[in-house]
A and B are shown apart, each in its own frame.
Chain A
Amino acid sequence: MSGEVWSFSENPAVACEVAFAAEGLADKAGLTQATVQLEEGGGASGRSVLVISGPSGPFSPEVCAEALFRAASARHPRAVLIGATRNGRETAARLAAKLKVGCLAGVTSLGVEEDNLTGERSAYSGKVVAKIGARLPAVAAVKPGVYPPTTAVSSTIAELDVGKVERQVSILGTTPKEAGTVDLKSAKIIVSAGRGVKKKDDLGMLEDLAKALGGALGCSRPLSSDLGWLPEEHHIGLTGVTVKPELYLALGISGQLQHVAGMKDSKVVVAVNTDKDAPIFQASDYGYVGDLYQFVPALRAALGR
């Protein structure tokens, strides 16, 4: 097989991961990896870089997908890998619809079998790993945080002017998420709060524990989405942040599948819950049936901090 595997993400860190994924796929299938760089976004790392010019203005998935479509119509890549950020998922879906090809969404591994692009993804809130496939050429949205960043040194293989792209959506402004935002993705230790916390003020106790451990505070969906006790950036789960810390302390979290989907790759999981049948214990290394209000002070004492 010959041809190109493209990688793209508007997020520079994710772009390096997707480039790494594309390099691996290129090696498996005898293809050439190329990182796509647009003026409005995209990485510059990888074995080679394809520079696309024409569109201008802030990054938008509709413009990016159209630019990629025009470039793909000219160079016919065998596969286009896009980082599955929220904007990336839209870009990938739109590109696949334009090209009338399959899109493997949110994959964590990639391969080529005969004439198909294959990939694995989590389904049913992480209960199942599904291997899916689509005939090449195909698009894949690659889950961030799975692949390491590329170390390849890039050279430009081509520059392509795809012309102006019309916008249907106007971006009025962008604001960073609420101040005091946590970086759960890079936290080594996460203390996570669930419905077992009785009132908002009690979160202080868990926040103090997180600080004492040098970690960050997360929560399950009810605390952020329903009760609004913590900003959405703390929400760990299928529709929130996916984390994989060294230590995950689930306090008063029942462990619904949608929560577990966001923390199942943690190295060590400790769960404390008053309900001995809480599903969180199925996703834990160490479990204690008890009251977090008694356990947390005891833990602080045992830690000596």
Chain B
Amino acid sequence: MKLAVCVKHAIDETELKLDQQGRPILQGAASKMSTFDKNAVEEAIRLRAAHQGEVVAVTVGPAEAKKTLKEALAMGADSAVLVSGVEGDSLSTAAALAAVLKKMGPFELVLCSEGASDTYSGQVPPMLAELMGLPYLGYARAISLASGRVTAERSLEYSVERAVAPLPAVLSVVSEINEPRYPTLIQIMQASKKPMVELTGPELALESRGGGVSVVSMASQQSNRKHEMVAGTPAEAASKIVAALKSEGVLST
């Protein structure tokens, strides 16, 4: 079977610096494969091991996104596709993915993660399913394939829903579904020999302008924490903290 896994080359939020006005410095910011996408890549590789076939890693992003595709290849994807030159919002990204998956497909299964680790809006996977007219199973914590159908345990806030859909289908996975592997040095070296295709938005003849969502402004998250460090032995610290919490009114006396 042919599996696609959609990945995002995301801003590394742990390394992100803010300027003096508290705005993030995105120009030249450190970037990496979106943390949760590793679970989607891992799941695709495991499904391939169980059902044979091939895994194609796909991303929409700038040229630097090749770094993320190389990581997916090192983890075990067979080939990779970069779509560059796409501007816009989640709907634009979903439209670009839908176009490239149609061009490179047909795929029986399209895997995504629940959301990107930098923006975490979780919009692209369901938009992609909608645009492709395919069934969608979101927030899967377990997936099984049998006789042309995919069954998933969907992890919702207070319940787990078991649902089934005919293939082809789009799925998003939650991070508890698996433990992503670390590629070995040999796998990392072999990754650069695997095929990587680069396409641009105009080559895909994208018409969609997306939904027109744009960022108006950004500011640092205001924190008004006290940052009081308490010193002393554990017993001394504990009594100071208990006294402070009582005066804050958050501990019943």
Contacts and interface: CB of A to CB of B under 8 A. Distances in A.
A238 B164 CA distance: 27
Interface string B190-206: 00000000000000000
Contacts of B158: 176-177, 181
B164 to A, nearest CB: 5
Interface residues of B, number: 89
B118 interface: yes
A258 B117 contact: yes
A299 B234 CA distance: 8
Contacts of A189: 250
Given A133-B213, A270-B245, A125 B91 contact: no
A94 B126 contact: yes
Nearest to B10: A124
Interface string B148-175: 0001001111111111111000000011
Interface residues of A, number: 90
A149 to B, nearest CB: 17
B242 A128 contact: no
Interface string B50-61: 000000000000
A105 interface: yes
B122 A93 contact: yes
B63 interface: no
A283 B215 contact: no
A164 interface: no
Contacts of B165: 168-170
A76 interface: no
Given A96-B211, A102-B213, A294-B234, A247 B250 contact: yes
A13 B126 CA distance: 24
Interface in B19-55: 23-24, 35-36
A286 B233 CA distance: 15
A289 B237 CA distance: 10
A123 B229 contact: no
Nearest to B242: A302
Nearest to B95: A97
A203 interface: no
A301 B160 contact: no
B216 A133 contact: yes
Contacts of B130: 65, 93-94, 97-98
A92 B138 CA distance: 13
A106 B252 CA distance: 34
A238 B120 contact: yes
A89 B241 contact: no
A62 B135 contact: yes
Interface stretch (A15-23, A39-47, A194-202, A261-269): A261-269
A267 B248 CA distance: 10
Interface in B219-253: 219-223, 225-230, 233-235, 237-239, 241-242, 244-245, 248, 250-252
Q: Which 10 A-B pairs have the closest CB atoms?
A: A102-B211, A105-B121, A168-B135, A298-B238, A298-B234, A124-B13, A102-B213, A93-B126, A97-B130, A302-B238
Interface of A: 11, 61-62, 65, 85-87, 89-90, 92-94, 96-98, 100-106, 118, 121-135, 138, 168-177, 181, 188-189, 213-214, 221, 224-226, 232, 238-239, 246-247, 256-258, 264, 267-270, 281-291, 294-295, 297-299, 301-303
9 contacts: A97-B94, A105-B123, A168-B134, A169-B137, A172-B163, A258-B35, A268-B245, A281-B227, A301-B235
